[in-house]
Amino acid sequence: MFSGKSRYWLFQVVGWGLFALINVFFAYSFEKMGDANSRYVIFFRLGLFVFLGIVFTHLMRFVIIRLNTLQKTVEKQILQFFLVSAFFSLLTATFYMEACNRFDLLNDGERKFINKPFLLILSGAFYFFINITIWNLIYFIYHYVTKSRKQQLDTLRLEALVKELELQTIKAHINPHFIFNSLNSIRALVVENPERARKAVTELSNILRSSMKSDKQETVPFEKELDIVKDYLALENMRFEDRLRIEYEIDEDTLDQPVPPMMLQTLVENAIKHGISKELEGGVVRIISDFKDDYHELAVQNTGKLNGGVNAEGFGLHSTTNRLNLLYGDKANFSIRQVNGSLVEARVQIPVETAQLIRS
């Protein structure tokens, strides 16, 4: 709303204006106004005090900026603020007392030091030191809070940038991994069955088109992700034929839930590569999607053994963990376990409330 310069002058005028009003209020409260001459003295001195306060605190601010005080350690800031406050208190009091003496506005207590200029200045410097110190404290606190808020905003922006870069890096690894696996599946069909290979190329084209669009989004509807996985499994089914059995246990209410793009694809690829391809007789890949408590649960089960056939430390599973952490923090869960002697399960839990919040 206000620039830094206009905000500074607004604070100056409001602050010293309040100071003047408070002094007028106390003057009336303690019946110090008296006759017209007394009122003249009080208002003249108050006006002079405020005028000099504004002028010399502005000059003091200039000195503080030139000394780069606000960028130094707290200890040095306190020392410099004290020294600057003391110096400008004496300087302001010198002008103030000289003006009061010149216009015969000194009170009885001050007239005692008329022949002792230094003591006269000290008597006025005390009041200026209190007000200038208060001014400096407000100035210091304001800039300290502003600096802290800026540092917090910069930190948040940096974290957001790092998060975005990490997500882009993960996606850049996922897509080549997916393409190479699919091309290997097609290559196995070229000589054996050209017609099916041509069909597989068309399916791959559809998958890549969807994959390129998903790179621009942090989440996609689960139904869209499932369609890509079905096309991929259709390609793999051509390669494995009877060795690969595919089962779906999908709650239709979960189809519109947002999920990270290519995440399910990564888990299915891992199940094929480290599970089915290692089994001489092949096995089953089962995809499960359901709600449990406040979570959308996705599970990929496959025939295989976790400690031998499934690489739990590979890039695909590692990237899944990273993406969930980046998108949902500690609210999402990922686990991989041996269900029984021949079945491995990778399970993802995404909090429904968080997912809906991100989508909206």
Written as six digits, the tokens of 160 are 């957001």
Phi, psi at 247, each rounded to 5°: -130, 145
Quote the pLDDT of residue 357: 42
What element of type H or E holds 229?
helix 222-240
Task: Name 244's bridge partners.
Answer: 283
Torsion of the alpha carbons at 173, 176, 177 and 180, rounded to the nearest 10:
-170
Burial of 11 (0-12, 13-18, 19+ CB in 10 A): middle
- Conformation bin of residue 302: beta by default, left when phi > 0, alpha when psi is -120 to 50: beta
Q: How many Cβ atoms sit within 10 Å of the Cβ of residue 261?
A: 24
Kindly list the domain boundaries of the chain, sorted by start residue: 4-155, 191-359
Comparing CA positions, the residue from 28, 4, 8 lying closest to residue 16 is: 8
Q: E-assigned strands of the chain?
A: 220-221, 244-250, 258-259, 283-292, 295-303, 333-340, 343-351
Burial of 284 (0-12, 13-18, 19+ CB in 10 A): middle
Quote the pLDDT of residue 108: 67
Q: What is the pLDDT of residues 305-332, one digit of tens each?
A: 886 444 445 556 777 787 788 788 788 9
Burial of 288 (0-12, 13-18, 19+ CB in 10 A): middle
What is the C-alpha separation between 325 and 222, in angstroms, rounded? 19
By DSSP bridging, strand 258-259 and strand 295-303 are: unpaired
Arch. (CATH architecture) of 191-359 = 2-Layer Sandwich (3.30)
Phi, psi at 116, each rounded to 5°: -125, 80
What is the C-alpha separation between 42 and 23, in angstroms, rounded? 9
Quote the pLDDT of residue 140: 87
Q: What is the pLDDT of residues 144-176, one digit of tens each?
A: 888 888 878 777 775 665 566 555 555 555 556
Mark 199-208 as b/e (b = at least 16 C-beta within 10 Å): bbbebbeebe
pLDDT string in tens for the chain (360-residue length): 556 678 888 889 999 989 889 888 887 776 556 666 777 788 888 888 899 999 999 999 999 989 888 888 888 888 888 999 999 999 898 888 888 888 777 776 677 777 777 777 887 788 889 999 999 999 888 888 888 888 787 777 756 655 665 555 555 555 565 577 667 767 777 777 788 778 778 777 876 776 666 555 678 899 988 988 888 888 788 777 889 999 999 999 999 999 988 789 888 988 888 888 888 888 999 999 999 988 999 999 999 888 644 444 555 677 778 778 878 878 899 999 998 888 999 999 999 854 444 444
Written as six digits, the tokens of 67 are 């000394």
- Nearest 5°: CA angle at 178, between 313 and 322? 40
Q: Which amino acid is at 75?
A: E
